Amino acid sequence: MNLLIAATIGAIAGLGLLLIISGIRGRQILPPAEAVFGSQTSQEMALAVSAGALGIGVLVYLVTNWPVAAVGAAVATLLTPRGFLARRDQVSYVERTNAIASWTEMIRDNMAGAAGLEQALQASVQVAPEVLSEELQRFGRNLDRMSLVDSLHTLGDDLQHPSADLVVAALANAAVMEARELGPLLGRLADATRADTRMRERVEVGRARIRTSARIVVVTTVVTILVLWIFAGDILSAYDSLSGQIWMCVVALVFVAGGIALHQFSQFDVPDRFTARRRPVRPLEGVGVAASNVDVVPAHSLGSSL
């Protein structure tokens, strides 16, 4: 055990020296906070979680005298916020998808009321879903100083959503080529977007059962260890030796592998963003369409893909 403690202290000292040298040379060797804690984690929250993980690790070591258990507790504390934030990201994706479908239907309904495309878009901005309010308000301001097609391109970049890319491509195509039957096309896009949301919600129900089973297994294991440590410490005395710590490390790696597998299963497979080729549009004979560098997607190709 003394050898294991000495090796742990040496590894920590070596890591600290490496961090100091890298800081002096201006090189980053640790992953950014977003990669560890999630994209929505602020720097203050990352520091607080890191300090809490260090404190829990030290406390576990002082109580159990098991270095592997201390490291495992610290790592589990570090990764706990990421699980909650990942769940929040999934919920946010579903909400944005539903909001995009509602916004698409608003445009279709406004155009059905004999409004032009730009007027329908301006009207949809005023009653935009709250989830998309910021992006659509910015789009409404861009319409006052940019062309409709350029404003739509900027909106697609702001939304960063594959379903929104299809809608933006259809609208840009209609703005440049004066495509007919835009209303039915927008209706089919909205229906396809809602169908995608329903599919993801059904998949999420099955994943929730798996996550619940995993939590039961983890909580049962931790409670069993605590009960044995309090009432039957002799049974766990085997882990006080170096070989016992090695076996504990093996068990911890099994839990880590299971956690990584569950994390992979819980990820949404978001399709690649739909971006058409940017190419100049030549004016057609008899049609006053100026040449510009815009995305043009045939309307019939969008409709046939749904």
Residue 213, beta-bridge partner list: none
Both tokens of residue 296? 């043009």
Domain assignment present for 134 = yes
Q: Is residue 13 part of a domain?
A: no
Strand partners, 293: 280
Domain membership of residue 114 (yes or no) is yes
Token pair 């070591």 in the structure block, residue? 61
Which residues constitute the domain of residue 292? 91-197+275-304
Render the burial of 5-41: b for 16+ CB within 10 Å, e for the rest. Answer: eeebeeeeeeeeeeeeeeeeeeeeeeeebeebbbeeb
- Cβ-contact 51, 30 below 8 angstroms: no
Residue 9 located in a structural domain: no
In a domain, 210, yes or no: no
The Cα–Cα gap between 275 and 238 comes to: 60
**Residue 7 included in any domain:** no
Contact 111, 123 (CB under 8 A): no
Residue 117 lies in a domain: yes
Could you tell me what percentage of the chain is helix, strand and coil, using 3-state DSSP and rounding each to the nearest 5?
75, 0, 20
**Predicted structure pTM score:** 0.62
- The domain tally of the chain equals 1
Q: What is the pLDDT along the chain (306 residues), one digit of tens a residue?
A: 566 667 667 777 777 787 777 777 777 665 565 555 555 556 667 777 778 888 888 888 888 888 888 888 888 887 776 666 666 666 677 888 888 999 999 888 888 765 678 888 888 888 888 888 888 889 988 888 888 888 888 888 888 888 888 888 888 888 887 667 788 888 899 999 888 888 888 877 777 787 788 788 888 888 888 888 888 778 888 888 888 888 888 988 888 888 777 777 766 666 666 654 444 434 333 333 333 444 444 434 444 444
Instruction: Determine the distance from the C-alpha atom of residue 150 to the mean position of all C-alpha atoms in its chain, rounded to a whole number.
Output: 27
